[in-house]
Structure 1
Amino acid sequence: MARTNHGSLASFFLRLGRQVWVRAALFTVIGIAIALIAGFVGPLLPFSVTIDLGQNAVDSLLQIIATAMLTVSTFSVTAMVTAFSSATTTATPRSTPLLIADTTSQSAVSTFVGAFTYSLVGIVALSTGYYTEQGRTILFIGTLVVIGIVVFTLLRWISHLATFGRMADVIDRVEEAATSSLVAHATSPTLGARLLDSIPAGSRPVHAETVGYVTHVDVSALDRVARRHDLRVYVDAGPGRVADARVPLAHVGGRFDDDVADAVRATFRLENHRTFEQDPRFGVIALTEIGSRALSPSTNDPGTAIEVIAALQRVLTRAVLTNPDHEVTYERVFIAPSRLTDLVADAFRPLARDGAGHIEVQVRLQKCVAALAASAPQHADVFRDVGSAAYARSRRALDRTDVRTLRAAMREAWSGAAR
């Protein structure tokens, strides 16, 4: 699997493509272009394409499309905002960017906006006599094609709304994002840099000019800066960490001035909120938040927590079974990868705490960590510690009958893991 060490420019365009307005603007431009090209191309064709159209036939169709698309576009945006709000209140606010980036909803809204713009430009152009007779015929054919695209998109959009923003849909999206970032991290834990064991004495810190989460490190650019000035760069604030007065972006070994320090800072992207792109722990945290909210007294939905535990098991299984690529591409950059103990704690500690009084949640959690221990025997101690800590919490919260049930389930699960 390719490393998630996209360059700053590539990362910028990748994030830009996920924005709703970008696709809507693109479809709007396409709609305007199609409406105007019909009048431009008509006189240039070497053959005649004419259809005996009734008076104002094209204009009437365009009026209908414009009215309908304005209504449908408004409805679609309202449905998307409702789905975003629902995910924020019932699942976790961290899932909202994944819903916003949904390609089906973006394409639907963009198609409706593009069709509205196409019809509007066509109406204005017809009223000014822009089209010849052949141009009107081409516009009519184009309008029929637009109607077909709109009908297909509307049917697809209605089908998509049946699941969009529902709890299962949100869990699946967060699981996919968590799997992608965590498997990429497992494949290349240091993003192609050298493993950082300790920061040498004598290296000097480079602090960020603002406080924020590190969401992207351009290791390639950082290595170029180090090579150009004969430096060694030891990254302190990897993706997901807060860079502040206590935690510098990096320590730099070698002689450097303020301009070089600015070049080092430029390879780190800081934001107010964490993202899934390079942060291996964020997806796991978002999944766990969904389960913790489901276990709150106001929600009391242990079934969702059990679904989250199953999702965490799939995510972590993929990660622990991934063979890491230890190839070093950037010799002058050193990065310390996230530790498995931290990832596992992020995943199961909140669920063990908030679900301590739910026997069904605790049984599923023990089966999950036992299965993970069986999948990765080299990390069995990490998962066994999590299971022991969860049992210690639940033993204080459950009655004696449930404790005996949980103890029996643990014996069965862990005896299978030991085989």
Structure 2
Amino acid sequence: MSGSHLRLIASRMLRSLWFRPALYAILALAVLATAPFVAHLLPDGLMKLIGLSGVYDLLDALANTLLAVAIFSLGIMASSLHAASASTSPRVRPLLVEDSTARAAISTFIGGFVFAVVGIVGLSTGYYSDASKVLLFFVTCALLLGLIVTLIRWIARLSRLGGVAEAVDLVEAATRQSLRELAGDPLLGGAPVSARPRDGVPVLPGKPGFVQAVDTESLGCLAEEMRTDLHLLARPGAFVGPGRPLLLTLRTLSEEEESRLRAAFLVGGQRTYEKDPRFGLTVLSEIALRALSPAVNDPGTAIGVIATSTALLSDWAAQAAAACPSVRHPRLHVERLPVEDLVEDAFRWIARDGAAMLEVQLWVQKGLGMLVAQDEARFGPAARRLAAEALDRAETSLTLPADREALRLVAWIAHPA
């Protein structure tokens, strides 16, 4: 596994729900274990000012309450995740789990519980001297202050946890980051493809799955070392397996060489947001489709998603136009991510399921029209085709002639300049 893949996995681990509570628990143990060795640094007068009998009672109260609070918080979070999956998309769950406020709250509660329990054990066994008990008192007071602040932030966070608007915001932020990376490096450091080799030798993955990341630095170095050009076929988000290779080479490779090339690809069972902007746009569309279902009937959410996707693609186009990507790996040939795919992921399925809703169709036409007005060369072909398709769907589904006429007045595709 390459270094970039290890960094990506480490980044996911740092954002996981269990990592910070485990870290806080370890820190609590470290503080309690080292307290006797640093307690002598405290002024002697503090032991006379502070009564030591209440330290045990304070820790006992914390131990009795914090575990219940932590379990209660986990229960609330589990309920919120279930509600978010039911009202938006199950693909939003990973982003909700990575919520920093929720992780900080649960971590503080669990870390405080471990601190209190181990502190009680240390006091009961005589591990702490009087000076150590004074230090323990100050650390406990600091912990109480942190718990109060965390509890207030957690209560404020509960008002938005699991809501549709928050889910849209989280997916938007993740998609914006991946689109920013795409704009700055559309070919992943490789050279543009002039023509795919007809006699190329495919390199298949070790298992079927979704490409989550590609280490193009390793691929570029391997191409130079093996003295062959590589044609990347599977960008992040692609599904690979038998008949769907990772890349093509210009010569037959040994098994060891193919294995080294496979190691540059991180393949998993699910798509992820980090390097796959199409996934983020697809999840936004899923949220809109759930809102347009007869059981929910919330066109306002779908309209908000259209506005969000339009803004994302608009910002990406502006960044891509201003970027000056360099070719770092001349022997690695990479195809550009088709603009048509991005536009379809953002608009097509909403236009299909919202065909009978005039308000949704108006916003589909507005969004596509804005993209064409911003960058005709980039968005024109895909946006015109989708706008015409959406107009045909709507005219078939809208039953009232006045609705069809209102849509045609706004549909720029029906009034070519």
Q: For residue 286 of structure 1, what is the aligned residue in structure 2?
A: 283
In 1, Cα distance between equivalents of 2:122 and 2:159: 39
Q: TM-score, normalised by structure 2?
A: 0.94
Give the stretch that moved more between structures: 217-226 or 261-270: 217-226
Tell me the SS of whatever aligns to 1:338: coil
Distance 1:94 1:271 in 2: 15
The amino acid that maps onto 1:316 is L
Q: How far apart, in 2, do the equivalents of 1:13 and 1:185 lie? A: 22
1:45 Cα deviation from its structure 2 partner:
5.3
* 89-98 vs 43-52, which moves further: 43-52
Q: Shift in Å at residue 216 of structure 1? A: 0.5
Q: What corresponds to 1:403 in structure 2?
A: 404
Note the 1:237-276 alignment, pairs <5 A: 237-254=234-251, 256-276=253-273
Q: Which runs of 5+ in 1 are unaligned?
A: none
Aligned twin of 1:219: 216
Match of 2:384 in 1: 384
Alignment-mate amino acid for residue 340 of structure 2: T
| Alpha carbons of structure 1 residues 86 and 6: separation in structure 2 relative to 1, 3 Å | farther
Equivalent residue number for residue 345 of structure 1 = 344
76-85 or 322-331, which moves further after superposition? 322-331
The CA distance in 1 between the partners of 2:397 and 2:240, in whole Å, is: 38
- What are the within-5 Å matches in structure 2 for residues 133-282 of structure 1? 133-254=130-251, 256-282=253-279
Cα contact 1:356–1:390 (8 A) shared by 2: yes
Aligned to 1:10: 7
Distance (whole Å) between structure 1 residues aligned to residue 131 and residue 325 of structure 2: 64
Q: Which amino acid aligns with 1:150?
A: L
2:390 alignment partner AA: A
Shift of 1:197: 3.4
The alpha carbon displacement at 1:6 in A equals 8.0
Q: Which shifted more, 178-187 or 147-156? A: 178-187
Unaligned residue ranges in structure 2 (runs of 5+): none
- Give the corresponding residue for 2:332: 333
Tell me how far apart the structure 2 counterparts of residues 124 and 228 of structure 1 sit (CA, whole Å): 60
Tell me by how many angstroms 1:253 deviates: 2.2
> What is the TM-score of this pair, normalised by structure 1?
0.94
What SS does structure 1 have at the residue aligned with 2:402? helix
- Which residue in the other structure is 2:39 paired with? 42
Q: For residues 318 and 377 of structure 1, what CA distance do their matches in structure 2 show? A: 15
What is the CA–CA distance in structure 2 between the aligned matches of 1:290 and 1:55, rounded to whole Å?
56
Q: Residues 42 and 131 of structure 2 are in contact (CA less than 8 Å); yes or no, is this contact kept in structure 1?
A: no
Report how far residue 48 of structure 1 moved. 5.7
Larger mean Cα displacement after TM superposition, 344-353 or 40-49:
40-49
5 Å matches for 1:106-121?
106-121=103-118
More off after superposition, 185-194 vs 252-261: 252-261
Partner of 1:393: 393
- Percent of counterpart pairs with the same letter? 34
3-state SS in 1 of match to 2:267: strand
